[in-house]
A and B are shown apart, each in its own frame.
Chain A
Amino acid sequence: MLAQRILSGDKRAAARLMTMVESGVEDATKELAELHVHTGNAHIIGITGPPGTGKSTMVDKLALDYRKKGRTVGIIAVDPSSPFTGGAFLGDRIRMLEASKDPEVFIRSMGSRNKLGGLARGTNDFIRILDAMGKDVILVETVGAGQSEVDIVKTAQTTIIVEIPGLGDDIQAVKAGILEIGDIFVVNKADRDGVERTVRELQAMLEMNPDKSGWQPPIFETIARDSKGIEDVTEGAMEHMEFLKKSGKFAKNLRMRTKAEFLEIIREELGEYIIEKKGKEEISGIIDRIAGRKLDPYTAADELLKELEN
């Protein structure tokens, strides 16, 4: 059984189960079920932000810093999949050369599309596997363009938003509306022009923002490429975890995430059950009628449910 091997730290078993999860292999859920009780220990940190801000390099350096502190690390690097071919060029590992040389760091690359239940669901299962494997810290790096940031909130305990100076007059994070979800803000490539301005703008935005109930998101300047400022970020993340635990937010956040995931799983299984019960051809026929305006989707769904109830 893969689960037992994963619990004893077997990397190949972990990798295998991840593939099974992605391919929708049925047995995967049995293994995941067994892992569940052994999870809940890792610090799950999301790293997000606009493209080109040096997230991958930052993840590499953060991993190294955590390693110096004696923690083991798991990394999930998400890159966009082609909406047309379903293929993906997963190149984040290039920037994680140092971390990838460390046997206590497990790095897995993931394409963003075609995931059952969306990105958050797939990432959740990967996190579960890394957590059960014994990783102290799990860094999840995402694409940083729109929906995926919101997804990250659903899965991470601490969210780090990485910006760089001089991306125009307005901070990209504000444009994308993701300012609210950041627990820590980093202005990377801080050797470029416009750092102070970017920091000031961030400070101003954060001051205007709704109360984060006691946590004042810090803003750090870093040059990830040269490992400058990285220690501040890891310390900030550790402080955030302490805050979450002391304030009771950790438990609240855990329940929220558990609820979101569970409801999604039920919805999906129910949907599958209904389609199976009714039959693919019948469903296809219903869809044709809806498209042909002979039926509307809401009535169709109602009727289908009533039919199955009897």
Chain B
Amino acid sequence: MERKIRVLVAKPGLDGHDRGAKVIARAFRDAGMEVIYTGLHQTPEMIVEAALQEDVDVIGLSLLSGAHMTLFPRVLELLKQNDAEDILVIGGGIIPEEDEKKLKAMGIAALYGPGAPTLEIVEQVTELVAKRHGDE
């Protein structure tokens, strides 16, 4: 029996637009993944705690509010503190190119703008997880 890919989809902070998050969550599910959807108003602490309990392979953060330079790094930091840097972090939302570069340098595995094709995201995530497990 193969291991299913588990993805946590969360919306940190005050951002209230969750349609994108739900669309990608469904795409992941349709691709055979188990999606733990935690919804709105999550703090980085809640997100990481959930990620650990659910033993996810990927954390997907959906952010349209502009707080990405605070929230993403905080999640990465908490993962490090919990010795959980093997969990991939990806993000979706409105992120300027310069910030994108900074975030990727920090360790965010992939970032997607609004309207990014879900199939592509699903494929890339599958690849990233396979690579991660291949390195274990």
Contact = CB atoms under 8 A, between A and B. Distances in A.
A87 B35 contact: yes
A214 B6 CA distance: 45
Contact of A87 (B31, B37, B49, B50): B31
Contact of A90 (B3, B31, B36, B49): B36
Residue of B2, B55, B83 contacting most chain A CB atoms (<10 Å): B55
A146 interface: no
A93 B50 contact: yes
B30 A85 contact: yes
B36 A87 contact: no
B93 to A, nearest CB: 20
B38 A94 contact: yes
A15 B25 contact: no
Contact of A100 (B6, B33, B46, B82): B46
Interface stretch (A108-116, A159-167, A236-244): A108-116
A109 B36 contact: yes
Contact of A85 (B2, B29, B53): B29
Contacts of B28: 87
Given A12-B84, A82-B29, A87-B28, A111 B34 contact: yes
B105 interface: no
Interface string A59-79: 000000000000000000000
Most buried by A among B3, B6, B36: B36
Interface stretch (A19-27, A39-47, A258-266, A299-307): A19-27
B39 interface: yes
Interface string B31-62: 11111111100000010011011110000000
B19 interface: no
A89 B37 contact: yes
Interface in A84-124: 85-91, 93-94, 100-101, 103, 106-109, 111, 114, 116
B73 to A, nearest CB: 22
A103 B52 CA distance: 12
A18 interface: yes
A12 B82 contact: yes
A16 interface: yes
Contacts of B6: 19
A109 B34 CA distance: 9
A103 B46 CA distance: 10
Given A93-B37, A94-B37, A100-B50, A82 B1 contact: no
A231 B46 CA distance: 26
Contacts of B74: none
A32 to B, nearest CB: 16
A27 B26 CA distance: 32
A18 B49 CA distance: 16
Interface in A253-295: none
A19 B136 CA distance: 16
Given A88-B29, A89-B29, A15 B36 contact: no
Contact of B53 (A11, A22, A89): A11
Interface of B: 1-4, 6, 25-26, 28-39, 46, 49-50, 52-55, 82-84
8 contacts: A12-B84, A15-B53, A15-B54, A81-B34, A89-B26, A89-B37, A93-B36, A108-B53
